[in-house]
């Protein structure tokens, strides 16, 4: 649900690239790609590391492609979208709470991933 608002905004927005990213066919293809990628992970303890690596690698590849094409506005919109999604998902629920009491809003692992994502988005990774 944390992602739904971003998707809705992008689909209705003025950035053709973001509208295309969240088009139905693109979303279905991305889901299939994730499912296929997850089948290759046999060590469940390594799942988070695999997902983090896949996400940052894909973000870096997309930003590199946009930058090489001189698509400044699209690259900026994509960067903003990525960091917004990361923040919304990390803030979506508390870690370690019981029936909504206690816990922390963003876990240490989430904070580390957000920092890494921001570094990739800023072109520093």
Low-confidence residues of the chain: pLDDT under 50:
none
pLDDT value at residue 48:
83
Both tokens assigned to 49:
């590391």
pLDDT value at residue 47:
85
Burial class from Cβ neighbours inside 10 Å (0-12, 13-18, 19+) for residue 87 reads middle
pLDDT value at residue 116:
92
pLDDT value at residue 98:
66
Chain-centre distance for alpha carbon 45: 21
pLDDT value at residue 95:
67
Would the pTM of this model clear 0.75, i.e. be above it?
A: no
């Amino acid at each position: 649900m944390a992602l739904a608002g971003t998707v809705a905004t992008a689909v209705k927005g003025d950035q053709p690239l973001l509208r295309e990213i969240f088009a139905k066919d693109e979303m279905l293809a991305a889901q299939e790609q994730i499912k296929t990628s997850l089948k290759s992970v046999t060590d469940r303890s390594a799942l988070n590391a695999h997902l983090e690596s896949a996400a940052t690698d894909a973000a870096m590849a997309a930003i590199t492609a946009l930058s090489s094409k001189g698509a400044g506005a699209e690259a900026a919109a994509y960067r903003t979208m990525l960091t917004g999604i990361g923040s919304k998902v990390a803030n979506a629920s508390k870690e370690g709470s019981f029936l909504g009491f206690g816990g922390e809003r963003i876990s240490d692992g989430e904070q580390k991933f957000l920092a890494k994502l921001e570094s990739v988005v800023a072109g520093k990774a």
